[in-house]
Structure 1
Amino acid sequence: MFRINFEADVLLALVGQQELGSAWLHPISYAIRNALTQGVPIDNIVLLLLLPLVAAVIAASRHLIGLRGFGIFLPAALSAVFVATGPVVGIGLFLVIVTVSTFSRMLLRRLRVKLQYLPRMALILLVVVLAVLAILFVGPQIFGRRELAEVSIFPVIILVLLAEDFTRAQLGKSIRIAASLTVETLILALMSFVFLSLSALQEFALLNPEIYLLMVLGLDLFLGTYSGLRLLEIWRFRKLIRN
């Protein structure tokens, strides 16, 4: 089961105490109530509600700050994995998978093994799976962390499958650029993890989904029309700007 570390009991209590007005003004709130009565886990609802904000935060980091990373999907998926596994275990598995997939690709290129794209990715995935299995087998004994033994399988599968996206994103790039993008992706994922973990934000999104989604929509529209300098660009060209 994909476990999300939200305070489900607290959120359910807040939803139960909330008094809703007209269904015309609160259609999503009523839909959430109906979904909860049908047995949909509140963790899943909260995570889905927060994902658009995570995407907007990643977009803002790109357009306002200048952090690139590997697109939106990869850091967003990583942030969800970090919520499920915890940041320490998630980052550890992430680094293992990225390192193994990168070195596997480099080794195949060094050995001049000519394979079609999909068989090559299947081979890299095989190596990544073996590395993750080794970590899960010996990690609890060597590192003394019970979290590795208790981690849910689905976050691990997501991390393993992300190896293809990282490998594809690294194609045609130097090791330095690929490493820089990987670090920036990790930073974006950790930033998104912080937003996903904020109890106040979870409660606001769950209790006021209409207002929350409109705010996210407004942020997306603002980012889409922003054409100014990014913070990293201002820092890079600060001497020219001063002159």
Structure 2
Amino acid sequence: MSRLPFYLIVGLLMVVGIGMSVHRHVQFEVPWTQGEQRTIWEVEAIIDFTALGDPVRVDLALPQHQRGYRLLTENTASPGYGLSFLQDETGRRAQWSIREAAGSQQLYYSARLLVTEDRRQRELPVPPLREVIWERPYDTAAAQVIERAWTRSADPYTFARELIHDFSEDRQGENARLLLTQFDRSTLLVRLLNQAGVPAREASGLLLEDGRRRQTLTPWIQVFAGEDNWSIFNPTTGQQGQPENLLLWESGGRAVLEVQGGTNSRVTFSMLSRNQPAAAAVRSQLADDTLLNFSIHSLPLEEQALFQTILLIPIGALVVVFLRIMVGIKTSGTFMPVLIALAFIQTTLPTGLIGFLLIVAVGLVIRNYLSYLNLLLVARVSAVIITVIAIISIFSVLSYRVGLNAGLTITFFPMIILAWTIERMSILWEEEGPKEVLIQGGGSLVTAVLAYLAMNNPWIRHITFNFLGVQLIIMSLILLLGNYTGYRLLELRRFKPVTED
């Protein structure tokens, strides 16, 4: 029979699992390691204005996901005002409204932004070229400035740089000084670029500096050189490219703040940066499940804690499969060591080992007595279960009385599994002797300890909880191990006499 379908299934599981994990790391920036730290910027915008006693409507441009920054959460404080978040082709805006307001007013908006490693440029629609109309003598000055910069440029970006440099202090001519008396620098540059056939628009950015208060937005110019090809320029220095600490607050060519029904409006910004674990920093965006972002972060915290343990079981199963198929260790029960390892996670390893040995040893003694009563299997196993419960209860009370609170944690042992383990070992003792009991019991204990060490590793706990694609990778590995038909490691000792001869 062809094994091709089997290997195709294994390969598909492996590729899908790796793809899901890599996508989750790249797209949602879930870290591979637990201890990674990420920088969070908390930015607060304060809007001040004087209301005139009439209906008031306030529009504020809002930041969004962009190169180097990802918006995590946002909050507002506006007592008595209605609030709506609007989205259109120019970007996001917050709109406050109230039927009547008078006197000094203050509105607050705060946002938490994650500094990301994603440096991909956001796609922006190319702004339309606006018809530029000049009055005399500004039309002649504008034409001469454009002609001078055009002859010394080769493309839209170099033209923009030359144009900005012509308005700098050291290269500023009479035409540039004349135009600056009538227009603001950034607005003037956009008009000149549009007249030269270069799409451009103004943008407002916030330079992030830790601990700064009452900061204002600075003007920037976005120059487009084709579809999905644009760059940002400093209108004062001509520097091309977005600085690392620049947060583009408004890039749609609209006003940052619009107030209807009020005067003397202004918006100022305060900012603060701090570091926190990367997993916690991106947790809010992981709650929005999609087909490619399937996770359990949208569940309540209690269920998340439960699944954090459940998702470790495949790791323990992989350890058991490897030790039984490749090494050849014998265990009492197939996956009993995995459940015992889960109990070790709750009890800690030393307490778990001592509790497991005490319960099994006392259970075997009592089970030996039950064998003389010639009970039926169901009744005998039920009696063993009750015995195990009694043993755990007695050990818990005794450990508490002598001040060993760690002994209370042995209640986490799976009682039904322990009862069946005692039953199997007792039957094995009667049929194969104490040697086989020690081999299988010792193998079970060694397997449980190794599974515990793998499942309790902080990095493995982080990977299994945050990357569900890992479960598919584990499945493919288990399928590959299940296809192995060669000798086990412990069976090689049978060939030792051959090597000696």
Q: TM-score scaled to structure 2, two decimals?
A: 0.41
Q: Which amino acid aligns with 1:127?
A: T
User: Counterpart of 1:196?
Assistant: 455
Q: Where does residue 167 of structure 1 map in the other structure? A: 422
- % of aligned pairs identical? 20
Retained in 1: the 8 A contact 2:392–2:410? no
Of 362, 378, 381 in structure 2, the residue corresponding to residue 121 of structure 1 is 381
Pair 231,21 (structure 1): closer, same or farther in 2 beyond 3 Å: farther
2:316 counterpart of 1:54: yes
Q: How does 1:90-239 map to 2 (within 5 A)?
A: 90-109=352-371, 112-142=372-402, 144-149=403-408, 151=409, 153=411, 155-156=412-413, 158=414, 160-170=415-425, 171=427, 172-210=431-469, 212-239=470-497
- Measure, in 2, the Cα distance between the counterparts of 1:227 and 1:241: 23
Secondary structure class of the residue paired with 2:329? coil
What amino acid does structure 2 have at the position aligned with 1:146? N
Tell whether the 8 Å contact from 2:324 to 2:330 is kept in structure 1 after alignment: yes
Task: Find the aligned partners of 1:137 and 1:33 in 2 and give their Cα distance.
Answer: 38
Deviations, residues 115-164 of structure 1 (Å, cap 9, x unaligned) = 1112222333333333322221222455x532114x274x14x1x32232
Q: CA deviation at 1:11?
A: 9.1
Distance (Å, rounded) in 2 between the aligned partners of 1:84 and 1:216? 24
Letter in 2 for 1:126: I
Q: Indicate the structure (1 or 2) with the bigger Cα radius of gyration.
A: 2
Deviates more, 1:168-177 or 1:17-26: 17-26
Q: What is the aligned partner in structure 2 of residue 85 from structure 1?
A: 347
Question: Offset at 1:200?
Answer: 0.8
Q: Distance in 2 between matches of 1:93 and 1:207?
A: 32
Q: Alignment partner of 1:219: what SS?
A: helix
| Greater mean alpha carbon deviation, residues 161-170 or residues 87-96 | 161-170
State the alpha-carbon separation in 1 of the partners of residues 396 and 424 from structure 2. Answer: 27
Contact 1:59–1:72 (Cα < 8 Å) also in 2? no
Closer/same/farther in 2, CA of residues 138 and 26 from structure 1, 3 Å limit: same
Deviation at 1:184, TM superposition (A): 0.8
2:497 maps to a residue whose letter is K
SS of the residue corresponding to residue 33 of structure 1 reads coil
1:236 offset after TM fit, Å? 4.0
188-197 or 119-128: bigger deviation: 119-128
Going from structure 1 to structure 2, the CA distance change for 1:20 and 1:127 (only over 3 Å counts) comes to closer
What is residue 25 of structure 1 aligned with on the other side? 292
> How far apart in 2 are the matches of 1:242 and 1:228?
22
Instruction: Identify which of structures 1 and 2 has the higher relative contact order when contacts are C-alpha pairs closer than 8 Å and 6+ apart.
Output: 1
C-alpha displacement of 1:81: 0.4
1:67 correspondence with 2:329: yes
Q: Alpha carbons of 1:26 and 1:240: their partners in 2 closer, same or farther (altered >3 Å)?
A: farther
1:59, CA displacement in angstroms? 0.8
Which consecutive residues of structure 1, in runs of 5 or more, have no partner in the other structure? 1-6
Residues 83 and 24 of structure 1, relative CA distance in 2, 3 Å threshold: same
Q: Conserved in 1, the CA contact under 8 Å of 2:287 and 2:298?
A: no
Shift of 1:165: 1.5
Q: More helix per residue: 1 or 2?
A: 1
Question: Normalized per residue, which structure has more strand?
Answer: 2
Compute the displacement of 1:220 (Å).
0.8
User: 1:62-102: per-residue Cα shift (whole Å, max 9, x none)?
Assistant: 01111111233210110100001111221122112211221
Structure 1 residue 114 displacement after superposition: 1.7
Do the aligned residues in 2 keep the contact of 1:18 with 1:207 (CA within 8 Å)? no
Q: Once structures 1 and 2 are overlaid, which stretch shifts more, 230-239 or 175-184?
A: 230-239
Indicate the residue corresponding to 2:94 in structure 1.
none
Gaps of 5+ in 2: 1-33, 35-275
CA contact (8 A) 2:363 2:387 kept: yes
| 2:298 corresponding residue in structure 1 | 34
Name the CA shift for 1:108/1:189 in 2 (closer, same or farther; >3 Å): same
Give the 3 Å change call, closer, same or farther, for CA 10–100 of structure 1 in structure 2: farther
Whichever residue aligns with residue 65 of structure 1, its letter is V
Task: Write the letter of the residue equivalent to 2:436.
Answer: I
